[in-house]
Structure 1
Amino acid sequence: MGKFLAILLVGCAVIAGGGMYYLQVYHYYDEVVSIPGTDVALTPQGSSDAEPVSYDNFQGIDADSSPIRYRACFTTSLSHATLDKTYRSYKPAEPRVAPGWFDCFDASEVGEALESGEAKAYLGTENVQYGIDRVVAIHEDGRGFVWHQINRCGEIVFDGQPAPDDCPTPPEGY
């Protein structure tokens, strides 16, 4: 009887672990339906409203379970010189790891390119959801990457502290 219970317990643990893995890595993610001309936007210097930029080959994933699960990849012909003159840079940009099956987005590679200067990060949309910014990184060769990142105001409010005076007022429930 002891062996049966041990096997049953291990079997349940394996099934539960496999189920949790599947839910976290595959189930919650949905492919972002591309809307040509609107999927990639950057915020111009001196503005707070993002505007679409030219791009091709868009691929994206998102999940309703968390506001920071958004990831996307694209290509663009825009140069760093044009981007630097026109759009707001974003620091510190910290790419978030994507599921392994979304193979166009490698957070380690993007992070290394940002550190070396081969890629530069720009503000996509500030507060795409309260406390969450959409960040766009563009590599010298035209490969682009998008992710959501918690901003300074979000970090403070999500930790249970009141929003600083220079932050927007959080919505009810934060």
Structure 2
Amino acid sequence: MNGKAVGLILVFSALMTGAAVWYLQVYGYYDPIPASAPAAEVRLTSLVTGQPEKIIAAGFQGIDADSSPLRFRACFTTPLGLAVATESFKVYDAATPLNAPGWFDCFNAARIGGDLEAGRAVAFLSVADITPGIDRVVAIYPDGRAYAWHQLNETAEK
């Protein structure tokens, strides 16, 4: 075999490996969450009981992956008003939405994070330690738009 053929085989193999890794990271591990699945049930932690309570969620779109507990993302709407929510459920002060894959276009982490910082949305604790060291967080807007994600909590950071 001459050197050009070996070089072409190496370059082609590297390109194919790179394409496979990119595809698996962006598309391969994610699965849509059906609206009827238990993971699509949206809950917020009650100030009174300290337990997660189901809230009404419509138009649920969600994704998750078995490869990491941090890959959960969801978009939905809720008729729950912010005044009632802040009086009834635990506010999550350290909310930091994580980026979603570009193809899951209903979830924009930068916009949600900016709106949380500016007070245009409020984050609530959905479920503490949904997986050890990871909380589910829900951000709600005054118009009823809502977004959910998983993020590391203080026990994971120790």
Q: Does 1:7 align with 2:16?
A: no
Within the candidate set 114, 117, 120, 1:118 is matched to 120
1:124 counterpart SS class: strand
Distance 1:46 1:12 in 2: 59
Query: 1:64 maps to what in 2?
Result: 66
Residues 36, 15 of structure 1: alpha-carbon distance in 2 compared, 3 angstrom cutoff = closer
TM-score, scaled to structure 1 = 0.85
Q: Give the CA RMSD over aligned residues.
A: 1.5
Q: CA deviation at 1:2?
A: 2.1
2:150 to 132, 148, 164: 148
CA contact (8 A) 2:48 2:88 kept: no
Structure number with greater CO (CA < 8 Å, separation at least 6) is: 2
Separation of aligned partners in 1, 2:91 and 2:48: 12
Percentage identity across paired residues of the two chains = 46
Query: What is the deviation of 1:145?
Result: 0.4
Partner of 1:24: 25
Moved over 2 A (4+): 35-38
Are the counterparts in 2 of residues 48 and 126 from structure 1 also a CA contact under 8 Å?
no
Q: Could you report, residue by residue, the CA deviation over 1:10-58 in whole angstroms, capped at 9, with x for unpaired residues?
A: 1111100100011111111111122389611000114331000112100
Q: How many residues align?
A: 156
CA distance in 2, matches of 1:35, 1:56: 11
Structure 1 residue 3, shift from structure 2 partner:
2.0
User: Structure 2: 5+ residue runs without aligned partners?
Assistant: none
